[in-house]
Structure 1
């Protein structure tokens, strides 16, 4: 099996070189990217495993690129930024990032987070081969083998890798109350001081995408720290 390709979109040339070296020493293939054009070229010509995206990237900036990459692909994105405030983390997650890391970060932590993101993607695909490929609820169709979500009108709804992982967990536990910590574990969310907030943001994003025709998504908050998927799920 070929090593996963990690695109390192970093504003500073020296940092790009250092991160590339450290990732290659950790068993990844790493491709440096200085701007948006480099990212698009890589995504158009190669199978990219993860994009590590510097929020300070210029022309357009990293935050705008995060949104653009997410609109174009479900490739996992780890957003990195100099500001570690909750506001920046939440904004990054809202724009479609799967994880957020504050600078400076250690190469060991980055490698661990990359493995966690890739492991979650592999788990999604493996589960898709073991469970019935298709699940239906409230007129929606989810095909886990194709990673497709189709709304009641027949239109495809794009989900990030993290959102899709969360949806699969909820579909596997319909009408069951799941504690936030257990949801984190099942969805493969890395346990960090900001993990609780990250899960809440993911749930919020998924709710918005599963709204249709004035009908709210069937994801209910129970007692503040637990969630319930209230719809009946039909497996095919």
Structure 2
């Protein structure tokens, strides 16, 4: 069901929440303030609707039945046809690691429940102003990363070594590496990385993360004793030691001036 204000073409916002009462309240409030709002209670049919209709923004609950909001956002960002659609996460999960993971997966904003209607409206207006035609252009997805002689082609999930030899990254390897590439020369906490690889953050002795880091180091031609790129911060997490250059498809196509 789509709610629209009277007259004119209103920006269309998809409201996705399995709480039907809250979903309806948000849609009604948006319609009363000049937006068209369409309700969804899970992600079934959502991707098709995003590609078919001119959706200005998705308000996306994190904890959904079936495919959760994080998984859907990852899928949305992986598709070139939908990669630039703005997303605001709505979630009862308010820890810093939850917010960081949501933003790392491509959300433009993250609002913790319960929230006020006025705050939601202000966040919606701010994001839509930022992405409106004639305003600041929406952030373009990074097409490739360059660091320490290595290159990552994001869309194809290719890792290219300094000699130009390319190899495919698994989905887990790519998710983990991308966190470091987005936060170069910063310590990324174990709790954040555990969420990225979809492991419970309350298992501090879980060795799965360390195994994944070891595999990633091996892909980069190093080991735990030879930490040139991915370094261990004892008791805290890990850090990519090299600076990172990011490039979008537009930058590649335009080339140097």
Q: TM-score, normalization: structure 1?
A: 0.56
Matched residue of 1:90: which SS?
Answer: helix
Q: Which residue does 1:106 correspond to in 2?
A: 116
User: Of the two structures, which has the highest relative contact order with CA contacts closer than 8 Å and spacing of 6 or more?
Assistant: 1
2:50 paired with 1:43: yes
Give the drift of 1:93: 0.7
Matched residue of 1:37: which SS?
Answer: coil
Higher helix share: 1
Q: Structure 2: which 5+ residue stretches go unaligned?
A: 1-7, 147-151, 156-177, 186-219, 221-228, 230-241, 247-253
Q: Which residue does 1:8 correspond to in 2?
A: 15
Cα distance in 1, alignment partners of residues 181 and 144 from structure 2: 18
Cα distance in 2, alignment partners of residues 105 and 114 from structure 1: 13
Aligned CA RMSD, in angstroms, stands at 3.7
Q: Structure 2 vs 1, CA of residues 22 and 203 (structure 1 numbering), >3 Å: closer, same or farther? A: farther
2:45 paired with 1:34: no
Count of residues in Structure 1 that have an aligned counterpart in Structure 2? 160
1:7-27, Cα deviation, whole Å (9 max, x unpaired): 001011111111110110111
Q: Structure 2 vs 1, CA of residues 105 and 99 (structure 1 numbering), >3 Å: closer, same or farther? A: same
Q: Structure 2 vs 1, CA of residues 156 and 47 (structure 1 numbering), >3 Å: closer, same or farther? A: farther
Q: Which residue does 1:23 correspond to in 2?
A: 30
Q: Structure 2 vs 1, CA of residues 34 and 149 (structure 1 numbering), >3 Å: closer, same or farther? A: same
Give the drift of 1:206: 7.6
Cα distance in 2, alignment partners of residues 92 and 82 from structure 1: 12
Of residues 108, 111, 127 in structure 2, which corresponds to 1:117?
127
* Bigger Rg, which one: 2
Is 1:7–1:32's contact at 8 Å kept on the other side of the alignment? Answer: yes
Is 2:77–2:84's contact at 8 Å kept on the other side of the alignment? Answer: yes
Matches within 5 A, 1:1-236: 2-72=9-79, 73-122=83-132, 126=135, 151=144, 205=182, 216-218=243-245, 236=257
Cα distance in 2, alignment partners of residues 54 and 17 from structure 1: 13
Give the drift of 1:86: 0.6
Is 1:148–1:156's contact at 8 Å kept on the other side of the alignment? Answer: no
Cα distance in 2, alignment partners of residues 30 and 59 from structure 1: 23
Is 1:93–1:202's contact at 8 Å kept on the other side of the alignment? Answer: no
